[in-house]
Amino acid sequence: MAAFPACQPPAPPLSRFCARALAFLAALLAVACGPGISHADDQTAAYHWQSVTVGAGGFAPDIVFSTAEPGLAYLRTDMGGAYRWDDKQGTWIALQDSMPTSSYMGIESLAADPIDPDRVYVATGMYRGYDAAMLRSDDRGGTWEIFPVPYRMGGNEDGRGLGERLAIDPDNRDRLYFGSRHDGLLVSEDRGEHWTRVESFPHKGVGVPPHGKATNAGLSFVLFGERTPDGIRPIFVGVADRGAEGLYRSDDGGASWQPAGGPQAPLFPAQAAAGTDGYLYVTWVTSPGPNGVKAGAVWRLAPDTGAWTDITPTKGPNLPPGGYMAISTDRQHAGTVVVASMNRWKPGDSIWRSTDHGDTWTDVRPFSKRDVSATPYLNWGNAEADFGWWIAGLAIDPFKSGHVAYTTGATVYATDALDTADGSAPLLWKPWIDGIEQTAIITLRSLPEGPVLLSGFGDLSGFAHTDLSRSPIHQFTNPVFANTNVIDYAGANPALIVRSGTPGHRSPDGSPVLAWSADHGLSWQPLHVPAVPYTRQGGKAATQQPDLSGNSAIAVSADGDSFIVASDHAIVSHDRGQSWRATSGLPAGSRPVADRTDATLWYAMHFASGRVLVSTDGGDSFKLLPTKGLPSSLKEDRPTWREQPWPLMAAPGRTGELWYFSAANERLYRSTDGGLSFRAQGGRIAIKALAFGKAAQGQPLLTLFALADRGDGLAIWRSTDGGASWLRLNDARHQYGRRFRTIEGDMRTFGRVYVGTDGRGILLGDSADAPE
């Protein structure tokens, strides 16, 4: 058992994905947790940390209102930890930023004590191959006791949008039940410290699937019903495993279990909600989601007769694909229930409300309006924001019937007027996300002029940030990428920006995966690259086909006139994409880097020999230099994933100055002669990402920032003397699961650093000792 503090309320704001992805993250975690070189003289700098505001941005599988106190709610996310709503401050507070264990940021389930508003439990574990634990707090997530468990979880796996698997016995609050994915029904009699299997439960689980196989949905929820007139408190458990689908019920405190009826396979129970009058409402689906739900239903169980009734809002032939998942009841008005569709892509998902136990329904989508002025990216370049997709969380405030919230794949919407909505006037929804930053950041660029920051996101394309305390109004569009993987700017002409990324989720085949901007990233033009002929080594003719997947990085020359696309065989344009030709002299898969001041100079790394290739003709041709000072082979350093930081970098404002970080050799190297020679800087340091920032006063060298391991796990570091010494910037309260992906220094403000995380958005760090 271990105790960890949560982060404090955020400081006042300024003025505030695929197998290779998982493999790369696993490599980072190995560095974060593995052995390293101890540096007793390392110090931690005084830094202020906060979030760059975007506003939510990721999938939050559920929202849970406390029944013990008005104005108290919790949000669980799939890769950014848990949040608590602080009603007095009017903000969500991240509860796990002090935890160093990455896996604990993936929340499988959350349970708030029904009587004690201070007590809350969280089941954590991001993937079945990662660590899992039960967390317990008696101060609303301010601090945590951590109890590691051997039961594998899947907070970011399929099925994360099913119901709450963790439940507190309202009649004995020391007893908790947990519906696991792989090990059946578990029970704890000591407030989550120890767990055993409930042997009387019919489904024992099917075990953890082997690597490469789909995960198990397991038990989809555990729910305590209302006490019946004869004193029985039913417990309901849904089973979502194929071949064992069904709903089970216990009327004797879990001693015995019986099938509770309902629809038959292929449908299985997804979520359930109990009314104060004893009615049970259950959604049924064909897939655990959040994708792949083709059909579904909503059924009601009557407490007096035990009869089931199909109350699905939309019935009949020719229904669009999709099912139902999120469901909630009104604690103030028996018979009032809301339910949401899942994966009904056309005409789009919706929410229905009933005030007569589901006999009749009102679809609220047709008269709903969304005010997303606080988070304009939700418009996605359209005139109006979408109602939402992946609606897995839906909750009616138990103390305020009109206050209803639902979670989506990108935000949390809420309204205060659902109880009076009848279609006669628009129903207004607003993002309820102040304090939530739950996104995966791939790349960052700080410019010496123009917007403060450019960011490349997973799923959200990217942004030009002109005010770090507000959600940006300039999203990367024309085209909208799903992921922006690379951003580069012209060193001597910073208004000229290029980016590459993967096609948008709803983009047609053949959509562009490259773009350029002449106004610091505020507006964009797509780049269309044709097939380009080239000559293979040995003289054989070949053709480089255009990359439509977004795997190829793009870079821009110092003057902004030339682009190089690092396709399998690199191609170059000297007229900003109007025409293209093949480069020569580069090994397959090379990624050229532009000198930051001289437009004729480009560099590339020859990993096999530990030497640099240079172009002196603007990127048309490259030759291998007799590089000295690097290891004879750097094959282990070669990135294998398009989102992985590139180890060869050119320093801003300095002709011929190159830096190379070797994670395999735990060394940082610097060249001042264009790659002819390198010198190791300082001692051993296993850098995973490096960035430049404004030089310290009186220092000739740019400030260096790094995501690196110096013996105590992955951390954020700064050097003002070229890597001879390092200061650690994040302390024990600012660990963020060590889910650090990319880093960038600010070129205008000394000491300022931006860190892109995998689930907690963009972190902004400012030095407490920076000069005014």
Query: How does pLDDT run across 365-395, given as a tens digit for each residue?
Result: 999 999 999 999 999 888 899 999 999 999 9
Rounded Cα distance, 390 and 162, in Å: 11
Tens of pLDDT, residue by residue over 677-711, are 999 999 999 999 999 999 999 999 999 999 999 98
Query: Using an 8 Å Cβ cutoff, are 156 and 127 in contact?
Result: yes
Question: Is the per-residue pLDDT at 26 higher than 90?
Answer: no
pLDDT band at 732 (very low <50, low <70, confident <90, very high): very high
pLDDT at residue 537 in the model = 76
The mean pLDDT of the chain is 93
Query: Is 547 an annotated catalytic residue?
Result: no
- Name the pairing type of β-strands 427-431 and 368-370: parallel
pLDDT at residue 75 in the model = 98
Query: Using an 8 Å Cβ cutoff, are 763 and 52 in contact?
Result: yes
Query: Is 252 an annotated catalytic residue?
Result: no
Question: Is the per-residue pLDDT at 535 higher than 90?
Answer: no
User: Catalytic: which of 459, 598, 637, 746?
Assistant: 459
pLDDT at residue 40 in the model = 37
Rounded Cα distance, 755 and 165, in Å: 33
Rounded Cα distance, 52 and 30, in Å: 27
pLDDT at residue 31 in the model = 38
User: Catalytic: which of 78, 183, 330, 598?
Assistant: 78
Closest CA to 146 of 124, 114, 169: 124
The torsion angles phi and psi of 546, rounded to 5 degrees, stand at -65, 140
Rounded Cα distance, 126 and 105, in Å: 7
Q: How far is CA 591 from CA 441, 565, 570, 742, in A?
A: 21, 8, 8, 18
- Joined together, the tokens standing for residue 460 give 């959200």
Specify the range with the lowest mean pLDDT, choosing from 43-52, 87-96, 307-316, 518-527.
43-52
Question: Is the per-residue pLDDT at 19 higher than 50?
Answer: no
Tens of pLDDT, residue by residue over 596-621, are 999 999 999 999 999 999 999 999 99
Q: How far is CA 527 from CA 515, 524, 550, 563, 589, in A?
A: 5, 10, 12, 10, 20
- Name the pairing type of β-strands 43-44 and 727-728: parallel
pLDDT at residue 5 in the model = 53
Query: Using an 8 Å Cβ cutoff, are 583 and 572 in contact?
Result: yes
Q: Which distant-in-sequence residues (6+ apart) come within 8 Å of 536 by Cβ?
A: 542
The torsion angles phi and psi of 369, rounded to 5 degrees, stand at -130, 150
Question: Is the per-residue pLDDT at 738 higher than 50?
Answer: yes
**E runs forming strands in 387-512:** 394-396, 404-407, 412-415, 427-431, 441-445, 453-457, 462-465, 474-475, 481-490, 493-503
pLDDT at residue 18 in the model = 41
* Burial of 321 (C-beta count, 10 Å sphere; 0-12/13-18/19+): middle
Query: Using an 8 Å Cβ cutoff, are 166 and 109 in contact?
Result: yes
Question: Is the per-residue pLDDT at 41 higher than 50?
Answer: no
Query: Using an 8 Å Cβ cutoff, are 271 and 217 in contact?
Result: no
Query: Using an 8 Å Cβ cutoff, are 414 and 427 in contact?
Result: no
pLDDT band at 770 (very low <50, low <70, confident <90, very high): low
Question: Is the per-residue pLDDT at 20 higher than 80?
Answer: no
Question: Is the per-residue pLDDT at 37 higher than 60?
Answer: no
Cis peptide before 508 (omega within 30 of 0): no
- Joined together, the tokens standing for residue 212 give 């490469």
Rounded Cα distance, 294 and 493, in Å: 51
Residue type, 335: G
Query: Using an 8 Å Cβ cutoff, are 294 and 323 in contact?
Result: yes
Rounded Cα distance, 111 and 123, in Å: 9
pLDDT band at 771 (very low <50, low <70, confident <90, very high): low
pLDDT at residue 536 in the model = 82
pLDDT band at 11 (very low <50, low <70, confident <90, very high): very low
**E runs forming strands in 663-734:** 667-671, 679-680, 686-693, 703-709, 714-719, 727-728
| Residue position matching structure tokens 């009734």 | 309
Ramachandran sector of residue 386 (left: φ over 0; alpha: ψ -120 to 50; beta: rest): beta
- Mean pLDDT throughout 482-509? 93
Question: Is the per-residue pLDDT at 408 higher than 90?
Answer: yes
Helix, strand, coil % in the chain, rounded to nearest 5: 5, 35, 60
Residue type, 439: T
- Mean pLDDT throughout 327-332? 98
The torsion angles phi and psi of 112, rounded to 5 degrees, stand at -95, 135
Rounded Cα distance, 289 and 336, in Å: 26
pLDDT at residue 768 in the model = 86
Rounded Cα distance, 15 and 40, in Å: 38
- Mean pLDDT throughout 144-170? 98
- Mean pLDDT throughout 163-186? 98
- Mean pLDDT throughout 173-198? 98
Rounded Cα distance, 4 and 136, in Å: 10
Query: Using an 8 Å Cβ cutoff, are 415 and 426 in contact?
Result: no
Q: Characterize 476-514 residue by residue with b for buried, 16 or more Cβ atoms within 10 angstroms of its Cβ, and e for exposed.
A: bbebbbbbbbbbbbbbbbbbbbbbbbbbbeeeeeebbbb
Q: Which distant-in-sequence residues (6+ apart) come within 8 Å of 396 by Cβ?
A: 65, 328, 329, 330, 331, 336, 338, 403, 404, 418
Question: Is the per-residue pLDDT at 30 higher than 70?
Answer: no
Tens of pLDDT, residue by residue over 446-464, are 999 999 999 999 999 999 9
**Consecutive H or E run containing 26:** helix 19-33
| Residue position matching structure tokens 């700064």 | 718
**pTM: predicted TM-score of the whole model, two decimal places:** 0.93
- Joined together, the tokens standing for residue 667 give 């060394």
- Portion of the chain with pLDDT greater than 70, in percent: 94
- Mean pLDDT throughout 759-771? 89
Question: Is the per-residue pLDDT at 554 higher than 60?
Answer: yes
pLDDT at residue 723 in the model = 97
Question: Is the per-residue pLDDT at 94 higher than 60?
Answer: yes
Question: Is the per-residue pLDDT at 626 higher than 60?
Answer: yes
- Tell which wins on pLDDT, 5 or 458: 458
- Mean pLDDT throughout 214-232? 95
